Chains A and B, each alone.
Chain A
Amino acid sequence: MKVLVPVKRVIDYNVKVRVKSDGSGVDLNNVKMAINPFDEIAIEEAVRLKEAGTASEVVVVSIGPKQSQEVLRTALAVGADRAIHLETDDELEPLAVAKCLKQVVADEQPELVICGKQAIDDDSNQTGQMLAALLGWPQGTFASEVAPEAGVVKVTREIDGGLETVQLNLPAVVTSDLRLNEPRYASLPNIMKAKKKPLEAKAVAELGLDVSPRLKAVNYAPPAARQGGIKVESVGELVEKLRNEARVI
């Protein structure tokens, strides 16, 4: 079974994001970038499936600027076999990403696609579901367990009320939640080895798809700041404030 994992290069989750003063975007100058945390989990899952003998090959794909190749190399260093870079300097919306991925699926014929459940920059949580729709495949979103069997995959999903398990015919799309696994770190020798693994690059423009934006970002603003609070000295003072000042108990 071939597994395809789409990975996005995003601002590192530890970075405190700042809005440009004219509201035209987010300041990306000299900001640390990294692989989307959910995609790290997706890669780890695919690599474990390979180690278990279930997956035959793990292919990673990233759509984005030249530097996306860095996250692809990271993916190769933790065990992916091969990488595909679809280059564009435009920020593609989830629907456009899904359309590009559909073409990769047509070329690669994977039986399983594991996406992250959401990119932590746009927080859209759309791409995996859209890809599944475009392919007419079933989807197992927000997965905390993925168990492939002959012709099907069982996916345990983190839902609002608890957990749900679905069985999907293969091929299928799965999106990873936080508790699917704990991703490993790349070792130095593996980082070196990853440099020799195949990475194929292609321009998004060559795909002949309409990936033009449908939405217009009009303004980026920081959230309304909370009024600065106080420190109370004792439980007694806290209770008094909650009763008489905040009036919430």
Chain B
Amino acid sequence: MMKTLVIAEHDNQQLNAVTQNAVTAAAGLQGEVDILVAGENVAAVAEQAAGVSGVGTVLVADAEQYAAQLAEELAPLVVEQVQSGGYQALVAPSSTFGKNLTPRVAALLDVAQVSDVIEVKGVGSYVRPIYAGNVMLTVESAEPVQVLTVRPTAFDAAEQTGSAEIRSVEATAAVGVSTLVGRELSKSDRPELGSAEVVVSGGRGLGDGDKYREVLEPLADRLGAALGASRAAVDAGFVPNDYQVGQTGKIVAPQLYLAVGISGAIQHLAGMSDSKVIVAINKDPDAPIFQVADYGLEGDLFELVPELTQQLA
């Protein structure tokens, strides 16, 4: 029987929903799925994890050195749990948290990792995008521990109807080579970009940060949408880095994606081409974004977007 350990992503208070997507991916490995919650004062997170359907046991490692979620501290713990628990697979979301931690664990286990899996065909057989999503690679792994990061938007979130057993595990010794100095997290009342039903994204065509907000915020308000951006818009300082959609930013797959003043470089498409419906507003008739858009609207965004906002009232 295959045993899979999923690493929970959380902020010591709230389980991040991407963990539920990771559990669904893990379920594709056909066997038992447990979750590891490591942090400080994480009883509430453990409860939430225990509620995720399909989970057998929630392992909880509660210690000060895990509070900041530093890879240096977490990796030895994960290795210890994988080995003592006899797990043959380890799954984490391909968020910045999972991308940071999982390869460190894989190297300590001396196994290859398969990154950003979008389909689990069975134990040891996975599909993952490479070359900015221009190629889908089917890859096979015979490693004794299958280490995967999985793309949250490619798997449905497991439901919250479970009641797993919660068990504490011993913390590993503190490593002490790194410390968290601080975090500057974007605060927003909008839906989370990675899981929003509607995303309104702006590019360099918006001109500057003030215009980005002036033009796109009312539209996003109307649609209850998350706001996103191209790399050019982030580089130019219109919006913070965590707005970036693309190969090296966030991957989104909403019901509706509106690309405003975005040309549609392959690196941007890599982050949004799995959206159900894509709308592009651009003044350049030859902008590549029109090749992936279900509905293309050609013209000046400064006229068209306010008009759209108004018509949606």
Q: Which residues of A contact B (CB under 8 A)?
A: 11, 13, 16-17, 19, 26, 93-95, 98, 117-118, 120-127, 129-134, 137-139, 141-142, 144, 154, 157-169, 177-179, 214-223, 226-227, 229-232, 234-236, 238-239, 241-242, 246, 248-249
Q: Give a binary string over B133-151; 1 marks a CB under 8 Å from any A CB, 0 the rest.
A: 1111111111100000000
Shortest distance in angstroms between A223's beta carbon and chain B's nearest beta carbon?
6
Cβ contact within 8 Å between B182 and A165: yes
Cβ contact within 8 Å between A123 and B103: no
Indicate whether A249 sits within 8 Å of B312 (C-beta atoms), given known contacts A94-B113, A133-B75, A235-B304.
Answer: yes
Shortest distance in angstroms between B69's beta carbon and chain A's nearest beta carbon?
9
Q: Give a binary string over B171-206; 1 marks a CB under 8 Å from any A CB, 0 the rest.
A: 000000111111111100000001000100000000
Indicate whether A231 sits within 8 Å of B290 (C-beta atoms), given known contacts A130-B107, A160-B194, A164-B180.
Answer: yes
Q: Which residues of A contact B104 (CB under 8 A)?
A: 129-130, 132-133, 139
Chain B interface SS verdict (over half): mixed
Indicate whether A217 sits within 8 Å of B248 (C-beta atoms), given known contacts A133-B103, A179-B235, A236-B311.
Answer: no
Shortest distance in angstroms between B227's beta carbon and chain A's nearest beta carbon?
14
Instruction: Look across to chain A and name the residue whose beta carbon is closest to the beta carbon of B72.
Output: A138
Q: How many interface residues does chain B have, given as a range?
A: 35 or more
Shortest distance in angstroms between B292's beta carbon and chain A's nearest beta carbon?
5
Q: Which residues of A contact B96 (CB under 8 A)?
A: 141-142, 157-160
Cβ contact within 8 Å between A162 and B311: no
| In-complex Cβ contact of A230 among B113, B295, B307 (8 A) | B295
Closest 5 CB pairs of A and B: A130-B107, A129-B103, A214-B112, A133-B107, A126-B103
Cβ contact within 8 Å between B278 and A229: yes
Cβ contact within 8 Å between A222 and B107: no
Please indicate which of the listed interface residues A158, A159, A168, A230 has the most CB atoms of chain B within 10 Å of its own CB: A159
Cβ contact within 8 Å between B181 and A166: yes
Indicate whether A162 sits within 8 Å of B183 (C-beta atoms), given known contacts A130-B103, A221-B138, A230-B294.
Answer: yes
Q: Which residues of B contact A231 (CB under 8 A)?
A: 290, 295-298
Q: Which residues of B contact A239 (CB under 8 A)?
A: 308, 311-312
In the complex, number of A-B residue pairs with CB atoms less than 8 Å apart: 243
Cβ contact within 8 Å between B131 and A123: yes
Cβ contact within 8 Å between B273 and A226: yes
Instruction: Look across to chain A and name the residue whose beta carbon is closest to the beta carbon of B248.
Output: A178
Q: Which chain B residues numbered 252 to 273 have a C-beta less than 8 Å away from chain A? A: 255-256, 266-267, 273
Q: Which residues of B contact A139 (CB under 8 A)?
A: 71-72, 100, 104, 178
Q: Which residues of A contact B157 (CB under 8 A)?
A: none
30 A-B residue pairings within 8 Å (CB atoms): A13-B267, A16-B266, A123-B115, A123-B131, A126-B103, A129-B99, A133-B105, A154-B181, A160-B95, A160-B96, A160-B97, A164-B183, A166-B181, A215-B112, A215-B114, A218-B138, A218-B139, A220-B138, A221-B135, A221-B136, A223-B129, A226-B278, A230-B296, A231-B297, A231-B298, A232-B295, A234-B297, A238-B295, A246-B256, A249-B312
Q: Which residues of A contact B276 (CB under 8 A)?
A: 246, 248
Cβ contact within 8 Å between B139 and A242: no
Q: Which residues of A contact B108 (CB under 8 A)?
A: 133
Report Cα–Cα, A242/B296, bound state, in Å: 12
Shortest distance in angstroms between B281's beta carbon and chain A's nearest beta carbon?
9
Shortest distance in angstroms between B67's beta carbon and chain A's nearest beta carbon?
13
Cβ contact within 8 Å between B116 and A141: no
Cβ contact within 8 Å between B248 and A118: yes
